[in-house]
Structures are given as C-alpha cells and as structure tokens.
Amino acid sequence: MKLYDRELSGNAYKIRLFFALLNQKYETVSVNSAAGEQRQPWFLKINPRGQIPVLEAEGRTIWDSTAILVYLARRFGGEKWLPLDAEGLAEVMQWLAMAQNEILYGLARARAIVLFSRKADLAEAQAGGHNALKILEQHLQQHDWLALGRPTIADIACYPYVALAEQGKIPLDPYPAVLSWMKRIQSLPGFVGMPGLRMM
C-alpha cells in the first residue's frame, strides 16, 4: 500500500495514525502541497480533487481521509473499528460527518489560517472551532469514546484537528473532557504523533 502524504496535514495524519494502530506496513510518497504539487497533472490523475491523502491499494486509488479510514477499517479491523449493524454504523458515521464539517471548517480552518496563511476569516473559524469543542465536551463528559463505548474510526477522524487546535489559537484547557479523551487516544497501543499535537 502506498500513501500520498504530507507531514503537516492533519487529514494525512489520520491515516498514518490508523495504520500504526492497525500495525500495518505501508510506503509513503511525500507531496509538497505548500508548493502546489497536489495541483500538478501527475497528481490530478491520482486524485482529481487535488487533495491529500490518497491511498493506492490492491490496484485501486482511494482519495479522501474518511473513505481511506473506512477502507482500512473494513479491510483490517473486522467490526472492531467500524461495525456493520445499522445502529452502530450510524453512530460512527455521525462523528465522521462532524469531522468533515464543524471540525474541518472550524478547528482545521483556523489552523490553516494561522499556520499556512490561508485566506479566510480567523474569528469565524475560531468560533466554529469552539462550537465543535463544546459538542465534543458535552458528549465526552458522559462517554470515554465518541461511539460504541470503544475506540473506532470516529475517534481517529475527529482527533487530529482537535489535538492541533492550539495551532489555530484555540485553547483546549477549557475542555477537560476533551483533554482526557485525547490522553486516552495517545495511550492506545501503537499511537504515533505528528508535529504540533497537544500531548497529554
């Protein structure tokens, strides 16, 4: 398996983290998105959206971090990381949706504005980030994990940009249940980090 990757991408880190937790080997191809390499013709043939991560596996190309998490969970994790029953699958999927909405447009966007000079409204992104953290805090005050009472790809999808929130000047200390959840993720066997994570 080959992962098209960038070290500072939170979405690519989701896949590196999940590979590590699954104890699966893969090779990486570094894509310099800061220099616009993801918009070059060779990369657009791999992913017409011009985004990382991309996974090549079993003769097929899979793009989008959520799709790759689903693929890896189903291929290597049985039902441990992604259940098949309707209720369990829906419980996981609602958090995957939050990772691609409130977390992406709040926490991830604020980080991109501060760290990578992305052109967008920082105050608006930070407000969205706090909204995402409040939703997580409320849930995690009553639950150790986001879904099913155990680690799933819901946690893997939501964790990176939460743990990187302070790079977007969004403090995490007001959210103690979120910090405890981050510590539980960092305690999982095989956990690997990335630059900028809030380590507990």
Which residue ranges make up each domain of the chain? Answer: 2-76, 86-186
Rounded distance, CA 162 to CA 140, Å?
Answer: 13
Quickly name the fold that domain 2-76 has: Glutaredoxin (3.40.30)
Q: Which residue has the tokens 């209720």?
A: 87
Quick check: 19 and 71 in contact, CB under 8 A? Answer: no
**Domain 86-186 coded CATH 3.30.420.40:** no
- 28-53 pLDDT, tens digit per residue, is 999 988 778 888 899 899 999 999 99
Q: What share of the chain is helix, strand, coil (3-state, %, to 5)?
A: 55, 10, 35
Residues of the chain with pLDDT below 50 are: none
pLDDT of residue 39: 86
What the block records as the tokens of 72 is 């890896």
The answer to whether domain 2-76 and domain 86-186 are alike in fold is no
Per-residue confidence (pLDDT) for residue 73, from 0 to 100: 97
